[in-house]
A and B are shown apart, each in its own frame.
Chain A
Amino acid sequence: MQKGCDLTRLDPVLAEYAGVPGSLITVLQHTQELYGYLPHEAICYIAQKTGTTPAKVMGVATFYTQFRFQPVGKYHIMLCDGTACHVNGSAGIAQAVCQHLGIEPGGTTEDGLFTLSIVACLGCCSLSPVMTVNEDAYGSLTPARAVEILDGLRAKEVQA
């Protein structure tokens, strides 16, 4: 997956921020938008072009939870485990989703369709428990409802 990633796509980003001090995080965010994650080659390329070391870039990238080093599935599920969601039963939702998809938190299904991340707080506490799938948020979940939503997405893929 990492071999053969087209590094020239990064050039416009690097050119835009070349003269802007302190823009490493922004560059990494753009990189992740381009590839869906941070490929190792891209990290080395950024280091080389910005005159720093891959270790420095990696140090910054690993500090922040937003950055990923593996590709994610087509549907990225972010299940909230903030305080309100926790009190309202997010653990039960996590268990049901993991069992249904056959993956652990952080994992991706074999067909590359779903990735599950457990996140700190999505800021929709009044609708807890909450999960987002890509851009869409789903609130007031029950284990059954969460599974139903994922089945709906899978059915859409089969039809397509």
Chain B
Amino acid sequence: MSGYIAVGQGSCGIAAGAANVYAALSEKLADRADIALKTVGCIGMCWLEPIVDLYDNDCLTARLVHVSPADADRIVTAAESGDLSGIADLVITAEDSAFLAKQTRIALRNCGIIDPTSLESARAAGGYSALAKILTGEGMTPEQVIECIKVSGLAGRGGAGFPTWFKWNAARQAPGDEKYLICNADEGDPGAFMDRAVIESDPHTLIEGMLIAAYAIGAREAIVYVRAEYPLAIKRLTRAIGQAREAGLIGDNIMGSGFSCDFRIKAGAGAFVCGEETALIESLQGSRGMPRLKPPFPAQAGYWYKPSNINNVETFANVAWIISNGGAAFAAMGTPDSKGTKVFALTGKVRRSGLVEIPMGMTLRDVIFGIGGGIRGGGSFKAVQMGGPSGGCISASLLDTVIDYKALGATGAIMGSGGMVVMDDSTCMVSMAKFFLDFTAKESCGKCVHCRIGTKRMQEILTRIVAGEGVPEDIGLLEELCLAVRDGALCGLGQTAPNPVLTTLRYFRGEFEAHTDPEHRRCPAHACQALLTYSVDAEKCRGCTLCAKKCPVGAISGTVKQPHAIDKDRCIRCGQCYAACRFGAVIKD
């Protein structure tokens, strides 16, 4: 059997131990010429990492999951004989395989399949053929490229969902020879990691998409603004840019067409607001990343006040496919309002978490239950958070909402960059709202009073509600502040900062009311420490004394083999007795 073994080495895979698996396999294969060992990126089945794929003549014969370095010997034996019986326990189950089978991959088409460190590998998968289609032979004019993107219906995948062709056209039409193309890879939404996966797994697709966009708008310089928290992505992209430059795909007179474009990477320094395009431009210019007043839009006055176009990584990752296959093929997928596919980062309390790319128009239920396998650990579905700090929490009653920009917007959440964090009944929604306000209050750049002070006041109110000091009037006050911040902020960060509060108030108002009930404040999810009461069920208690020994404040009394009791005034609600009891006799309420 001649073939190769591929080890998935994205950041997630490496964190799960893939580098050690690679090292072990490398040692076993050191003096073997018949079986090659390759690095591939992230296939997006993160819950199964580390993942090893066996290929025979470029055909996947087996996908092995949860592999450890100790398995190296039998993997090599199976690879050389083609007999998988010795590694049957490692082979992915049919149920888990369905995670991929139910997806349609365009932006992620090469992720986890090609070697992200090799230009040849990218080219073998069709890399740079769309660029060649535009620049060589009959070619395409910039206007034809923009028209093709217009037909495709591609919209910005970073969150706002603005039509891509419109931005390209505006930058193309803007007067001036000095124009810039910028890629926003400052993936700041907590819970979203598709851009990292694309850069780590298929950097040449990003470069190709950017070159096509640069050609369309007439830019001679392209800049990728990457989060500093993504060192592996920066390393692989730097390498890919070097390879492309050496191959004449970046630089002067690309493919002999007369089109020239140079590339560089700029590492961000950690500021959520820099996901906003004008703030990103300020940061690129070496300043504090504070948003500018629009208009003028970046297409007219962007980087150094020259016409500039900014798109997100996932948007660019679709471009080469659209040029190769035609705009109509992309537009054939999706809903009348939203075309093509979208990548989601499915995480939280879901059984199968990872990257999911699906055509628009599937329902949330299809994704969370059909692909994600439902709730992990026996709890029941409570909500899904979409769109990060600018988005909202969608309740179980809306699980049949279809995924498109309009339908998701109607729920009060947003498509956003595609973070999909699933929550079960152990998650307190008031505490969740507080979590997001902690984030936005910290990340507010301070330019607008409503955002700077409004988010702070909202955070304070939510903090006191969670601490058991809330009053019923707090709910009305929160609502008033939400509207004021939304209307009084200049940029997207401020305007959308109230969304997590507005949506939790809309779908989980009862939880806010329970937390602030003057008669009996309580947390229905039993998550807010200050609102819990612990007691002992005398019938279940065996008097083993373990809880009394664990209690750090001596609040539990009782003698051996007699039911114990908790002094509620002394109890600090640390929960150690609850965790320690082996008979389920400590009750949390």
Contacts and interface: CB of A to CB of B under 8 A. Distances in A.
A147 interface: no
Interface stretch (A5-13, A59-67, A105-113): A59-67
A129 B266 CA distance: 29
B527 to A, nearest CB: 10
Interface in B1-44: 11-12, 14-16
Contacts of A124: 11-12, 15, 193
Interface stretch (B252-260, B280-288, B291-299): B280-288
Interface in A1-29: 21-26, 28-29
A83 B267 contact: no
Contacts of A23: 286
B230 to A, nearest CB: 7
Nearest to B11: A124
Contacts of A59: 288
Interface string B483-494: 000000000000
B193 A125 contact: yes
Nearest to B385: A83
B413 to A, nearest CB: 13
Contact of B188 (A64, A121, A138): A121
Contact of A66 (B189, B228, B286): B228
Nearest to B355: A126
Interface string B508-541: 0000000000000000000000000000000000
A83 B388 contact: yes
Interface stretch (A69-77, A84-92, A151-159): A84-92
Contacts of A28: 269
Interface in A119-146: 119-128, 130, 135, 137-139
Nearest to B19: A136
Interface in B366-397: 385, 388
Nearest to B197: A123
Q: Name, among B15, B196, B270, the residue most crowded by chain A CB atoms within 10 Å (CB to CB).
A: B15
Contacts of A139: 12, 15-16
B286 A127 contact: no
A125 B347 contact: yes
A39 interface: no
B285 A22 contact: yes
Given A87-B348, A87-B427, A26 B193 contact: no
B446 to A, nearest CB: 9
Contact of A130 (B15, B47, B349, B421): B15
B231 A63 contact: no
Interface in A21-58: 21-26, 28-29
Contacts of A135: 231
A82 B191 contact: yes
B272 interface: yes
A26 B228 contact: no
Q: How large is the interface on B (under 10, 10 to 19, 20 to 34, 35 or more residues)?
A: 35 or more
B302 interface: no
A138 B193 CA distance: 17
B183 interface: no
A139 B460 CA distance: 32
B267 A29 contact: yes
Nearest to B10: A124
Nearest to A136: B15
Contacts of A138: 15
A60 B286 contact: yes
Contacts of B304: 21-22
B435 interface: yes
A26 B225 CA distance: 12
B188 A88 contact: no
A83 B11 contact: no
Contacts of A86: 190, 435
B439 interface: yes
B12 A121 contact: no
A117 B215 CA distance: 43
Interface string B420-443: 010100010000000100010001
B229 interface: yes
B271 interface: yes
B15 A25 contact: no
Given A25-B286, A84-B348, A121 B269 contact: no
Given A87-B349, A87-B423, A123 B11 contact: yes
A58 B163 CA distance: 38
B191 A84 contact: yes
A25 B15 CA distance: 29
Contacts of A137: 11, 14-15
A87 B421 contact: yes
Contacts of B556: none
Nearest to B15: A137
B142 interface: no
Contact of B228 (A29, A81, A87, A120): A29
Contacts of A122: 229
Contact of B15 (A63, A64, A84, A127): A127
Contacts of A21: 285-286, 304
Contact of A126 (B46, B268, B271, B287): B46
B501 to A, nearest CB: 15
A83 B190 CA distance: 6
Contacts of B348: 83-84, 87-88, 128
Contacts of A60: 286-288
B227 to A, nearest CB: 8
A83 to B, nearest CB: 4
Nearest to B443: A120
Contact of A123 (B47, B193, B439): B193
Contacts of B196: 123
Given A63-B288, A125-B353, A84 B11 contact: no
B271 A63 contact: yes
24 contacts: A22-B287, A22-B304, A25-B283, A25-B286, A26-B267, A26-B286, A29-B228, A60-B286, A60-B287, A60-B288, A65-B269, A65-B270, A81-B190, A83-B421, A84-B353, A87-B421, A119-B229, A123-B187, A124-B193, A127-B46, A137-B11, A137-B15, A139-B12, A139-B15
Interface of B: 11-12, 14-16, 46-47, 49, 187-193, 196, 227-231, 266-272, 283-289, 304, 345, 347-349, 353-354, 385, 388, 419, 421, 423, 427, 435, 439, 443, 445
Given A23-B286, A29-B228, A67-B269, 5 more contacts: A65-B269, A66-B228, A123-B196, A125-B190, A125-B353
A-B pairs, 4 with minimum CB distance: A126-B46, A82-B190, A64-B269, A137-B15
Interface of A: 21-26, 28-29, 59-60, 63-67, 81-84, 86-88, 119-128, 130, 135, 137-139
